[in-house]
Structure 1
Amino acid sequence: MNGVRGRDTRRTESRLALVASPTPAAQQAAATFAQRYEFVPLDEADIVIALGGDGFLLQTLHTMLDRHRIKPVFGMNLGTVGFLMNEWRMDALDERLARARRFSVTPLRMEAETVDGESFSSAAINEVSLLRETRQTAWIEVSVDGRVVLPELVCDGVLAATAAGSTAYNLSAQGPILPLGSGLVALTPISAFRPRRWRGAILPESAKISFRVLDPVKRPVSAVADQREVRDVALVRVGIDRATCLSLLFDPDHALDDRITMEQFAV
């Protein structure tokens, strides 16, 4: 995650940091980039250029959250899907940044308590998911704003997703796609056995969601905030973290809001 200083450089209007996935393609691209543009360490940058896939972009955002150094990120896809990334191109970086559209993303905050009484807190840009750890189905009580809405959800798991993350794991679990800026959170079951007909809910961002594991010893459950896992949880609280705001930059013809909208028509 250290910034890369370039050689034989041309200056852009903003101070840029360069981070890259450890994959060979991303590392090769970063080496080439460093020969054409000047980069500064992450803490000194105005904008972060991230080379890799969606997973690496999430890792970059979490690193900035951990270090309390939140900067706008312009990602370029050198991964597999790259839904949160722009097209990889070497040329005209300064022009692309000048024309880029900025999107604000507010993450979820997960507060988890384990069977042993330990407490953990983590941000989730895409989703918070609860998943069974063994072959035994999970038994989970679901509450919204202090009211029990599902006394016993028997399932492989359940997740809460932001609009930005609604096209990721949430969509794979047959959850709804939420337009960016809709002010909504998706609550989606994962292979629900009971109640059989419950397909999830769409909640306002102000909602406070609680998951209580009903038999955490016999039927252990883990909680995952994006890529960060807490095992053997007993209680998980999830809500939008209004104190935190992340910024993603996109080419105007590749903007995140339009891509999320068009996913509703993908066949």
Structure 2
Amino acid sequence: MTDFRFCFVASRADIATSACERLERRYGSHDPHDADVIVALGGDGFMLQTLHATEGLDAPVYGMNRGTVGFLMNQFSEEDLPERIAEAEVAAIHPLRMKALDTAGDTHTALAINEVSLLRMGPQAAKLKIGVDGRERMAELVCDGALVSTPAGSTAYNYSAHGPILPIGADILALTAISAYRPRRWRGALLPSHTTVRFDVLEHEKRGVAAVADSQEVRDVVRVEIHSEPAVTHRLMFDPGHGLEERLIREQFV
């Protein structure tokens, strides 16, 4: 099949919007609810926005890099788009679900495709208690923060924090410390994907912590629970030989 109905979406960058206009003139554009494929033009941040915005649709997302990094994107070209889509590989990924309780007693929920991170808000280090599936695993972690990452997000913030790169098909989550002070040099843990991780913020009155699910921030949290959400599936399309599995392997040999 090469007769696809496309929906083109673009970031606000001029290079992305101008590319979107040219592609719409060439291939036409449909409402996202009627499209066979969502084509996202931008960088990785815009791809995450697009995946969140289209999570209730059947159409997969094919990204073309008109941004900076482009780890989740394909190379940009205006030529042969229907043929590239017809030959593309599809990767199915599940996000994390964050449930955060703040100091006002309000509960916030959000989905994260890459990671959920807890970050100190002020000059003092955060103090976190870590529980896994209802069992306390670390009574006190003194740190700048900590995060839980999916395999798809393991090369992003997780990798910058010296966390492991996870194979895309692995049923594993990475729990990674950010600048751990005590226990010194603790790097984190690998956990089954069905695990529920709970962070309790100790001394939250003077050691404020924010929780961030991808780009959605909740400030002054006192408790955060994180688990994989298998009920939600995002489908990304990649050119043959350049899928997520290959990219994650290649990233380890740079």
Which sections of structure 1, spanning at least 5 residues, go unmatched? Answer: 1-10
Does structure 2 conserve the Cα–Cα contact (< 8 Å) formed by 1:20 and 1:27?
A: yes
Aligned letter for 1:262? R
Give the equivalent residue in structure 2 for 1:62. Answer: 52
Does structure 2 conserve the Cα–Cα contact (< 8 Å) formed by 1:100 and 1:250?
A: yes
Cα distance, 1:70 vs. partner?
Answer: 4.9
C-alpha distance in structure 1 between counterparts of 2:43 and 2:177, whole Å: 26
Give the equivalent residue in structure 1 for 2:35. Answer: 45
Cα distance, 1:45 vs. partner?
Answer: 1.3
TM-score by length of 2: 0.98
C-alpha distance in structure 1 between counterparts of 2:71 and 2:250, whole Å: 12
Equivalent residues in 2 for 1:1-267, closer than 5 Å:
12-65=2-55, 68-266=56-254
Cα distance, 1:12 vs. partner?
Answer: 4.6
Structure 1 residues 8-44: Cα deviation after superposition (integer angstroms, max 9, x where no partner):
xxx9522211100110000110111111002101122
Which sections of structure 2, spanning at least 5 residues, go unmatched? Answer: none
Cα distance, 1:180 vs. partner?
Answer: 0.5
Structure 1 residues 230-262: Cα deviation after superposition (integer angstroms, max 9, x where no partner):
000010000000110000000003211101011
C-alpha distance in structure 1 between counterparts of 2:242 and 2:5, whole Å: 23
Aligned letter for 2:127? W
Aligned letter for 1:220? G
C-alpha distance in structure 1 between counterparts of 2:210 and 2:247, whole Å: 31
Does structure 2 conserve the Cα–Cα contact (< 8 Å) formed by 1:126 and 1:162?
A: yes
Structure 1 residues 174-208: Cα deviation after superposition (integer angstroms, max 9, x where no partner):
00000100111000000000000311111110111
Cα distance, 1:71 vs. partner?
Answer: 2.6
Instruction: Give the 3 Å change call, closer, same or farther, for CA 261–58 of structure 1 in structure 2.
Output: same
SS of aligned partner of 2:48: helix
Cα distance, 1:69 vs. partner?
Answer: 2.7
C-alpha distance in structure 2 between counterparts of 1:252 and 1:57, whole Å: 19
Runs of 4 or more above 4 Å deviation: none
SS of aligned partner of 2:248: helix
SS of aligned partner of 2:54: helix
Does structure 1 conserve the Cα–Cα contact (< 8 Å) formed by 2:6 and 2:39?
A: yes
Does structure 2 conserve the Cα–Cα contact (< 8 Å) formed by 1:71 and 1:246?
A: no
C-alpha distance in structure 2 between counterparts of 1:154 and 1:70, whole Å: 43
Cα distance, 1:114 vs. partner?
Answer: 0.3
SS of aligned partner of 2:86: helix
C-alpha distance in structure 1 between counterparts of 2:22 and 2:54, whole Å: 24
Q: CA RMSD in A?
A: 1.1
SS of aligned partner of 1:189: strand
Aligned letter for 2:83? E
Higher mean displacement: 127-136 or 251-260: 251-260
Higher mean displacement: 125-134 or 208-217: 208-217
- Percent sequence identity over aligned pairs: 50
* Equivalences, count: 254
